[in-house]
Structure 1
Amino acid sequence: MHAFAALLDRLIYTRSRNAKLRLIADYLKATPDPDRGWAMAALTGALDLPAVKPAIIRAIVDERVDPVLFRLSRDYVGDTAETVSLIWPDPPAPPQGDVDLGLSGIIERLATLSRSDAPGVLADLLDRLAPEERFALLKMATGALRIGVSARLAKTALAQGFGLDVEAVEEVWHGLKPPYDALFAWAEGRGDQPSAADLPVFRPFMLAHPLEDEQVSMDDFAAEWKWDGIRVQLVHVAGQTRLYSRTGDDITHSFPEVAAAFVHAGVLDGELLVRGEAQAGGLDVAGAASFNALQQRLGRKAVSAKMLADYPAFVRLYDILFDGAEDVRALGWHERRARLEGFMPRLDPERFDLSALIAAESFTALEELRAGARDAAIEGVMLKRRDSPYVTGRRVGLWYKWKRDPLVADCVLMYAQRGSGKRSSFYSDFTFGCWTESGELLPVGKAYFGFTDEELKWLDRFVRGHTLNRFGPVREVEKTLVLEVAFDSIHESRRHKSGLAMRFPRIARIRTDKPAAEADRIETLRRMVS
């Protein structure tokens, strides 16, 4: 456990991507099986210890430490694992018995626990470990590392450390399970490359670069709408169907009707949406509701008949990766598009349709269409080079995303909350509101990005100097500061007192020049509802 804890500690304080890659690669080469496999599971978010929950951690800390002291410390530190690792007291008597404190020994012990046994076992481990090891244990157990390492970066480090192609690692990754014995046997030349044949595994998505100020030729690029749902991959092989999110999470159980309708061998890429009315001012984009409707279905382990009826899901298809058993990713986009169009007649039109191409003779014409598209389900435009193969990740010059211009509103700062990690000493999460006709200020959104480091320091000073009330880590402030808030869209919401919910709000500008009484009204925002 000590080596893994040291790795996490060094990764947290390492900014350079290349340095992070070297640290992980060196650890994987120096660490034996199965510890390194469990470490990879933790770094990539593939480790599942269902008996260990944040509530259990809080409960055992409350038994050992003054609860008020712990909450004040947690508020200051900004991270539960770090606070517990530092505040955990020495046990009244040395722990009895021998316990395997290696990484694999701890994981194997925690993985077999019942909910009732978890508190005692976790407390016993914390008694036996040093502070840095406690931190690693709690981060690993709750699945919230937050150390600046993505799953892709960890896999890239593995590939570089053992001289493998990272795309080959990605290809077989989702067909393997921790602690990845077969993967490391292949990496060290002791075994064959694992095969994903006959398994409904996830393949990493092709992604797009933002289109900045450049223009592209419509002779070289095709355009289609960028839909505001969630990107999904449909896989059917050997009689099995899986539905994966962009991060590779299996979401089949949340959308069983979509999975049940995909019964032909292949792998398709598309946008998961909910049926809705056309709202696009005559544009040929009918059929999709706002993201707010889709959100009612996300994350549900069981879906009721009413939910299926009220929020019927479907997939708007973008691309094809496998046509039957044939891998077509190396073909150009225009060839894959023809394959996808040929695949469409096999699919249920109730659950699948094809993302239409935008007929624009020039980039200027496309710009005009994009500017006029304010449909609830449209985020902007996608531009795809006609000869581009389907490759993992973002490749310069192949695909571009051109988001529509954001909406903006002047809102009044109401509440602020401390951030986490490197922002734990600053008030960096801001709730803001707009006025009703009767003069009441109602919250309309919350944002924690969009501002510079210097603006964060200024906002933090404002919060501390204009606090009205304290509610744990939250402060209510004087209603005097106007923030210009940018957001992608706004929707009706029963969960919010204002009746509105913003999509991707961010703070665009601090309006010290504008009196709070002149901030926008709820009715102004309501007229922006898609």
Structure 2
Amino acid sequence: MLLAELVTTAQTVTATRSRLAKIAALADLLGRLEPDEVEPAVGLLVGKPRQGRLGVGWRGVASATASVEPAAEATLTVADLDEAFERLAAASGTGSNLDRTRELHDLLAAATAHEQEFIARALLGEMRTGALEGVLADAVAKAADRPAASVRRAAMLQGDLGATALLALTGTADELEAVGLVVGRPVQPMLAATASSAAAAIETTGEASVEYKLDGARIQVHRRGDDVRVFTRNLADVSHRLPEVVDVVRALPVHDVILDGETLALDEDGGPRPFQETMSRFGADAARETLLHPWFFDVLHVDGRDLLDEPLSTRLAELARIAPTHRIPGEVTADPEVAERVSRDALAAGQEGVVVKAIDAPYAAGRRGASWIKVKPVLTYDLVVLACEWGSGRRTGLLSNLHLGALDPEGEFGEPGAFVMVGKTFKGLTDELLRWQTARFPEIETRRTANTVFVEPVTVVEIAIDGVQRSSRYPGGIALRFARVKRYRDDKPPAEADTIQTLRALLRG
């Protein structure tokens, strides 16, 4: 298939707000792909080339694009682009930068103007993947005539939509249904919605496990025999950084297990150390004096038995059996007053708040729904930095005022998966954070004006607010009230940022 057909389909999907129209366009494309084109095409559409990181940054792409005239006629195929990406990924050692530059120039010289733009976005991970993966999964189901639920489940458990698309399009229905958990292969973590109070959350869930929300880093731990692997919420393998977690899980009375939990540093009294200390230790390749303690709140597999579809009550019973001393504190209740008491206890213990989890709900990997609801004492949301303005006064020479964006998954206010600006803030920024962002943001700069540096939308920051108000200044129709920076979230990808729809719902609250 010509790459131009893929590019045209991507443009069609971007141009329409109709989910059904997007699915139809993508299904038509998928149905015309050869089997060996399916995985590369899906990777390109969601901005995740199957080769992973290609060693090409924004400056390299911008320089190559500016110096190469686009081709007049479309001749590149999907296979051509995939092979070029293979060569870019394989370049290493002395002279690799020159090899990548030459390869990139040759590739762009063979591409039309629209293809050049598409290739640049694929290289830089700017295909707005947060929204498109769900739409594309439904398109795979339509093209393959398979149940959408089966495709979505297989994609979550395989962790690779391209592989799932190939299986759905070329395999049998039974093969698709047979996809299950594999110990050692991480799955997307289940996510939580937000409520203003534990009592309000209980009204939504009914009987629930009200658990402490620890101020730590999310981990997913896989063990097969003595082999233990620890993954971040982004599914990166950090086993070598967390030997203390590996030792704890290796000592559990099981052979195979998959656990979901948090890890954090504790002070001398057993209370949580600041989140920054946990993340500093979490991100270190070398051993540090600070130890990280694992706490688990769910178990997805035990000794050959998948537990994803079992109710939370069953999973908690298994967790109590295999890891009783490493369970996150909590209490099962349907009483709003009890839920509020647990919430107060969590705050008194120095934790962030609670997560209220419906006791009869299965584990919905990679999804955010009403079965898990997080409750914090203040309204906090994870937003993405879109730009930063130079400061004045004592902040002269430092990047200060942040432009903040919320995720728009379905493209209600623009391009699907893009970020809608909802406000600015410089409040809460310490001198250390000011220095950090002044050094960091020019590295991911996309353009600048006299006063503002615009950046790739990849940096997640936790923002506390007092609410939102209607505003015609921003395309989402709202603006943040009294926004202030809590911390940067190095552990979260931009696709997991809070949505513009979540923030707009506060108007009704």
Structure-1-length-normalised TM-score = 0.64
The 5 A counterparts of 1:123-522 are 123-146=105-128, 149-162=131-144, 163-164=146-147, 165-170=150-155, 172-174=157-159, 180=163, 184-189=166-171, 192-193=175-176, 199-211=183-195, 214=200, 216=202, 220-237=207-224, 240-259=227-246, 261-263=248-250, 264-278=255-269, 286-299=270-283, 303-305=285-287, 308-310=288-290, 312-344=291-323, 353-358=326-331, 362-370=335-343, 373-374=346-347, 378-394=351-367, 398-406=371-379, 415-416=400-401, 430-433=424-427, 454-456=472-474, 484-486=482-484, 489=486
The residue type equivalent to 2:189 in the other structure is F
- CA separation of 1:361/1:453 partners in 2, compared to 1, >3 Å: closer, same or farther? closer
State the alpha-carbon separation in 2 of the partners of residues 316 and 222 from structure 1. 16
State the alpha-carbon separation in 2 of the partners of residues 205 and 392 from structure 1. 5
1:39: how far off? 2.0
| Richer in helix (by share) | 2
Query: SS in structure 2 opposite 1:309?
Result: coil
Residue 56 of structure 1: which of 60, 65, 70 is its match?
60
Asked if 1:102 corresponds to 2:77, the answer is yes
1:318: how far off? 0.2
State the alpha-carbon separation in 2 of the partners of residues 362 and 400 from structure 1. 16
Aligned partners of 2:425 and 2:483 also within 8 Å: no
State the alpha-carbon separation in 1 of the partners of residues 235 and 242 from structure 2. 15
State the alpha-carbon separation in 1 of the partners of residues 403 and 69 from structure 2. 26
Aligned partners of 1:274 and 1:313 also within 8 Å: yes
Measured against aligned partners, the alpha-carbon deviations of 1:488-512 in whole angstroms (never above 9, x if no partner) come to x579xxxxxxxxxxxx9x9x9xxxx
State the alpha-carbon separation in 2 of the partners of residues 298 and 142 from structure 1. 26
Measured against aligned partners, the alpha-carbon deviations of 1:162-190 in whole angstroms (never above 9, x if no partner) come to 2141344235523x6x963x852553346
Measured against aligned partners, the alpha-carbon deviations of 1:191-218 in whole angstroms (never above 9, x if no partner) come to 9447567651223433333336846379
Gap regions ≥5 residues in structure 1: 65-87, 279-285, 460-481, 492-503, 509-530
1:274: how far off? 2.5
Aligned partners of 1:416 and 1:428 also within 8 Å: no
- CA separation of 1:56/1:361 partners in 2, compared to 1, >3 Å: closer, same or farther? closer
The residue type equivalent to 2:424 in the other structure is F
Aligned partners of 2:299 and 2:315 also within 8 Å: yes
State the alpha-carbon separation in 2 of the partners of residues 435 and 171 from structure 1. 37
State the alpha-carbon separation in 2 of the partners of residues 359 and 38 from structure 1. 46
The residue type equivalent to 1:131 in the other structure is A
Residue 36 of structure 1: which of 32, 35, 38 is its match?
38
1:343: how far off? 0.6
1:41: how far off? 2.1
Query: SS in structure 1 opposite 2:261?
Result: strand
1:434: how far off? 7.4
Measured against aligned partners, the alpha-carbon deviations of 1:215-264 in whole angstroms (never above 9, x if no partner) come to 63798222111223233221123654332333434343443542454334
1:122: how far off? 0.8
1:342: how far off? 0.9
RMSD between superposed Cα atoms in Å? 4.6
Aligned partners of 2:311 and 2:362 also within 8 Å: yes
Aligned partners of 1:206 and 1:390 also within 8 Å: yes
Aligned partners of 1:21 and 1:156 also within 8 Å: yes
State the alpha-carbon separation in 2 of the partners of residues 329 and 7 from structure 1. 35
1:136: how far off? 1.1
1:5: how far off? 1.4
Structure-2-length-normalised TM-score = 0.67
- Equivalence for 1:477: none
Aligned partners of 2:421 and 2:476 also within 8 Å: no
State the alpha-carbon separation in 2 of the partners of residues 457 and 398 from structure 1. 31
1:431: how far off? 4.6
- CA separation of 1:251/1:28 partners in 2, compared to 1, >3 Å: closer, same or farther? farther
- CA separation of 1:215/1:428 partners in 2, compared to 1, >3 Å: closer, same or farther? closer
Gap regions ≥5 residues in structure 2: 382-390, 393-399, 409-413, 438-460, 489-497, 504-509
State the alpha-carbon separation in 2 of the partners of residues 388 and 160 from structure 1. 28
Query: SS in structure 1 opposite 2:329?
Result: coil
The percentage of aligned residue pairs carrying the same residue is 20
Give the greater-gyration-radius structure (CA).
1
- CA separation of 1:140/1:453 partners in 2, compared to 1, >3 Å: closer, same or farther? farther
- CA separation of 1:431/1:241 partners in 2, compared to 1, >3 Å: closer, same or farther? same
1:296: how far off? 1.3
- CA separation of 1:34/1:243 partners in 2, compared to 1, >3 Å: closer, same or farther? same
Measured against aligned partners, the alpha-carbon deviations of 1:247-305 in whole angstroms (never above 9, x if no partner) come to 43434344354245433411111113223355xxxxxxx443232122214555xx112
Measured against aligned partners, the alpha-carbon deviations of 1:391-410 in whole angstroms (never above 9, x if no partner) come to 335576533222222489xx
